[in-house]
């Protein structure tokens, strides 16, 4: 691949950015041809064009914040998964697969599918029928203003933090892979997202997410295809991994989870099942509004449920483009290319390649001009879909759950739409500032896991009790949620407390053992247990406070609680369109996959 044409084009880009020159660019992993650059520029033109085009369709609050509630099941499902399929996911979980083997795939199996199906079959009817705009909005209806405000404020804080780290990670990756200036990457991508989300709101975010879904898949799918061919087939790949790592099990989902000493994460199977499979997963997929908003925008309840089930199918397929490239890195990079990947800190000290570079390295191995541009576009699209998801969810929750109830009630609808547009832009700029918080964390996926544990897992506990238990009281909803948040933050501080003081980077093994039952547990493992304890504490406090406070009368709980909610019949439906049928099929496939790769 030639370097000169890219340098010329890059000089134009950098001159436009006005903050750096190509000469400042550090060494890069990949170089682009003009055709690659054309692919990337076409992508930016397309997403901005869609944003400008959709502006005229978003005049009311319902259009801007809920995309008019007219999405088909497929669009809702694709958007649901695309908002989650950021490049943090693709790069981060590929790196996890290289580092820990097939264990990383749990994030797409037990760590996602049961929760998504639960959302589709059980929780979605409540969200949909009460016609709320957001998850905090449901809390307002079920528990009152205090719970809604706490959820709204905590969600906006979390969203801005996640959005910031997404942005920072993208800029770092572009610097690493292409040598692009970090400020240039941050500003170009964030302004693009701010423009198209502020113009078209959720409608624009959803449209672009569907587009980005296709680009992510088509940009990366060729890597596992060519990699498996090069490795000589699946069995040869597994054999090569086992031969290169004698005495270690990198190719099982469950066989190495019998004891924390058997796997490099230091995790027992109970942590995987109850920490990831219950607390983190159900919290994230069932109550993180970033996810739920996409399917709440469906045109009717059946489309919302089917869209969620479609999302589950698509999620289960993601290991094909995430886990397999990581495993191929284990099988091929070391043995055929003589490259061994190391932790980030070691890579920085020695100038070697880090785990996080496994996907870009596989790209450089297989993708020539044009295809490489598509691969890079897939990564940019991934970052932008994740960022846009956060920005649109932030705009909705800020406007409906913080600004309207607490700052300006009873303004005209147009005022709230204007507020939504402005806070889409402002949210992006605040997020840039928060990106540096991520520097505290050794691993960005761990940072995201911590944030979900702080704010979303307790939210799930409260929402679940609210939907299933009539006796849960408004006071209990608020205090249970707050107790869960404080328990999660308290545990995080506890595991980072050392005799010499607090260190946000280093774990204290003695304290870790009290939470995760073993001093061997790494950040990832201890966070799973921490989330589980926070969830249980939140539920316990909610139940206890309910015992001593007055519940709402049943007349105020209609369409909010199980037993008091009537589902509208949406006409006759053949069996193959029933969400329950497909949820059962997906669950059976999930069990089959786990047995197959046990």
Partner 1 sequence: MSGSAQIPIWFFIGILLAAYGVLIFISGVFRWINPPAVPTVMEYLHPAVWWGLLLSVIGGFYTVRYWPTGKKSGNRKARPKHGKRPATGKTPRSGSAAGSSRRAPKRSVRKR
Using CB under 8 A, pick the residue from 29, 46, 437, 540 that binds partner 1.
46
Stretch that binds partner 1, among 109-117, 281-289, 517-525, 570-578 (CB under 8 A): 570-578
211 interacts with partner 1 by CB under 8 A: yes
Distances (CA, A) of 145 to 139, 406, 408, 475, 536: 8, 9, 15, 10, 24
Q: Lay out the site mask for partner 1 across 535-564 (x = CB under 8 A, - = otherwise).
A: ---------------------------xx-
Name residues whose C-beta falls within 8 Å of residue 532's C-beta, 6 or more positions apart in sequence: 271, 274, 275, 278, 279
Q: Could you tell me which of 416, 408, 413, 550 has the C-alpha nearest to residue 473?
A: 550
Please identify, among the stretches 212-220, 234-242, 394-402, 548-556, the one whose residues bind partner 1 according to the rule CB under 8 A. 212-220
Interface with partner 1 in residues 51-110 (CB under 8 A): 53-54, 56-60, 63, 68, 70-72, 74-75
Shortest distance, position 224 Cβ to partner 1, whole Å? 12
Q: Does 570 bind partner 1 (CB under 8 A)?
A: yes
Distances in whole angstroms, Cα of residue 493 to Cα of each of 177, 489, 503, 525? 35, 6, 9, 16
Binding residues for partner 1 restricted to 223-262, rule: CB under 8 A: 226, 229-230
Tokens standing for residue 411 = 């303004």
Q: Of the candidates 499, 572, 575, 576, which one interacts with partner 1 according to CB under 8 A? A: 572
Q: Which is nearer to partner 1, 45 or 439 (CB)?
A: 45
List binders of partner 1 among 107-126 (CB under 8 A): 125
Q: Which stretch binds partner 1 (CB under 8 A): 161-169, 362-370, 479-487, 506-514?
A: 362-370
Cβ closer to partner 1: 108 or 366? 366
Crossing angle of helices 358-366 and 145-178, in 10° steps, is 40
Q: Which is nearer to partner 1, 54 or 327 (CB)?
A: 54
Q: Do the beta carbons of residue 521 and residue 260 sit within 8 Å? A: yes
**CB of 297 or CB of 485, closer to partner 1:** 297
Residue (of 437, 432, 456, 460) closest to 447 by Cα position? 437
CB of 529 to partner 1, least distance (A): 34
Judged by beta carbon, residue 412 or residue 563, the one nearer partner 1 is 563
Tell the smallest beta-carbon distance from residue 207 to partner 1 (Å).
5
Give the total of residues touching partner 1 (CB under 8 A). 53
Binds partner 1 (CB under 8 A): choice among 267, 371, 476, 487: 371
Q: Measured between alpha carbons, how far is 359 from 350 in angstroms, rounded to an integer?
A: 20
From the list 20-28, 222-230, 445-453, 494-502, the region that binds partner 1 by CB under 8 A is 222-230
Q: Which tokens hold the place of 581?
A: 């049928």
Q: Measuring CA to CA, how many Å separate 21 from each of 185, 334, 400, 403, 598?
A: 13, 35, 43, 42, 51
Tell me the CB-side half-sphere exposure of residue 198, using CA atoms within 13 A.
17
Residue closer to partner 1, measured from CB, 229 or 317: 229
Among 17, 29, 41, 222, binds partner 1 (CB under 8 A): 222
497 beta partners: 502
194 binds partner 1 (CB under 8 A): no
- Phi, psi of 354, rounded to the nearest 5 degrees: -95, 170
User: What does the alpha-carbon distance between residue 43 and residue 48 come to, in Å, rounded to a whole number?
Assistant: 9
Output the DSSP codes for 187-215.
HHHHHHHHHHHHHHHHHHHHHHHHHHHHH
Q: Hey, which residues between 274 and 333 contact partner 1 (CB under 8 A)? A: none
The Cα–Cα gap between 238 and 244 comes to 10
Smallest gap from residue 484 Cβ to partner 1 (A): 26
User: Do residues 8 and 178 lie in contact, with contact meaning Cβ atoms separated by under 8 Å?
Assistant: no
- The residue ranges that bind partner 1 (CB under 8 A) are 1, 33, 35, 38-39, 42-43, 46, 50, 53-54, 56-60, 63, 68, 70-72, 74-75, 125, 207, 210-211, 214-215, 218, 222, 226, 229-230, 364-371, 374, 562-563, 565-572
């Amino acid at each position: 691949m030639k370097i000169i044409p890219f340098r010329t084009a890059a000089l134009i880009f950098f001159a436009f950015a006005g903050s750096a020159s190509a000469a400042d660019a550090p060494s890069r992993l990949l170089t682009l041809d003009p055709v690659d650059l054309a692919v990337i520029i076409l992508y930016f033109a397309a997403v901005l064009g869609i944003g400008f085009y959709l502006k005229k369709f978003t005049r009311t609050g319902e259009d801007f914040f809920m995309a008019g509630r007219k999405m088909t099941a497929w669009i809702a499902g694709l958007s649901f998964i695309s908002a989650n399929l950021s490049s943090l996911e693709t790069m981060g979980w590929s790196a996890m697969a290289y580092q820990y083997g097939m264990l990383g795939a749990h994030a797409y199996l037990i760590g996602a599918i049961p929760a998504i199906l639960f959302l589709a079959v059980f929780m979605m009817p409540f969200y949909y029928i009460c016609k709320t705009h957001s998850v905090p909005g449901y809390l307002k209806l079920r528990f009152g203003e205090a719970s809604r405000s706490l959820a709204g404020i905590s969600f906006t804080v979390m969203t801005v933090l996640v959005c910031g780290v997404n942005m920072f990670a993208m800029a770092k990756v572009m610097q690493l892979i292409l040598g692009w200036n970090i400020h240039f990457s941050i500003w170009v991508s964030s302004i693009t997202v701010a423009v198209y989300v502020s113009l078209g709101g959720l409608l624009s975010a959803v449209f672009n997410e569907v587009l980005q879904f296709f680009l992510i898949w088509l940009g990366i799918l060729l890597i596992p295809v060519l990699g498996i061919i090069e490795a000589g087939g699946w069995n040869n790949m597994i054999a090569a991994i086992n031969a290169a790592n004698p005495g270690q099990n990198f190719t099982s989902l469950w066989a190495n989870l019998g004891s924390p000493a058997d796997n490099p994460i230091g995790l027992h199977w109970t942590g995987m099942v109850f920490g990831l499979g219950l607390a983190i997963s159900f919290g994230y997929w069932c109550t993180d509004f970033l996810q739920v908003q996409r399917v709440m925008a469906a045109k009717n309840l059946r489309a919302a449920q089917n869209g969620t089930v479609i999302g589950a199918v698509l999620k289960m397929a993601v290991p094909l483009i995430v886990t397999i490239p990581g495993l191929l890195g284990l099988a091929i990079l070391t043995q055929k290319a003589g490259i061994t990947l190391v932790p980030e800190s070691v890579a920085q000290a020695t100038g070697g390649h880090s785990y996080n570079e496994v996907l870009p390295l596989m790209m450089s191995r297989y993708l020539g001009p044009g295809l490489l541009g598509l691969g890079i576009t897939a990564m940019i699209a991934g970052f932008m879909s994740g960022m846009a998801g956060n920005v649109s969810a932030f705009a909705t929750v800020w406007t409906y759950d913080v600004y309207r109830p607490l700052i300006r009630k009873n303004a005209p609808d147009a005022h709230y739409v204007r507020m939504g547009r402005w806070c889409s832009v402002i949210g992006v700029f605040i997020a840039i500032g928060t990106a540096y918080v991520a520097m505290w964390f050794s691993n960005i996926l761990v940072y995201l896991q911590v944030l979900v544990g702080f704010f979303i897992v307790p939210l799930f506990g409260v929402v679940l009790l609210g939907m299933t238990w009539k006796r849960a009281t408004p006071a209990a909803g608020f205090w249970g949620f707050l107790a869960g948040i404080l328990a999660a933050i308290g545990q995080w501080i506890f595991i980072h407390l050392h005799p010499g003081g607090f260190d946000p980077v280093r774990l204290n093994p003695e304290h870790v053992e009290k939470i995760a039952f073993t001093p061997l547990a790494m950040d990832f493992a201890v966070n799973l247990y921490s989330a589980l304890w926070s969830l249980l504490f939140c539920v316990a406090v909610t139940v206890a406070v309910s015992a001593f406070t007055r519940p709402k009368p049943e007349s105020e709980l209609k369409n909010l609680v199980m037993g008091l909610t009537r589902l509208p019949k949406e006409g006759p439906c053949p069996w193959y369109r029933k969400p329950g049928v497909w949820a059962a099929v997906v669950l059976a496939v999930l069990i089959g996959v786990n047995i197959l790769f046990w």
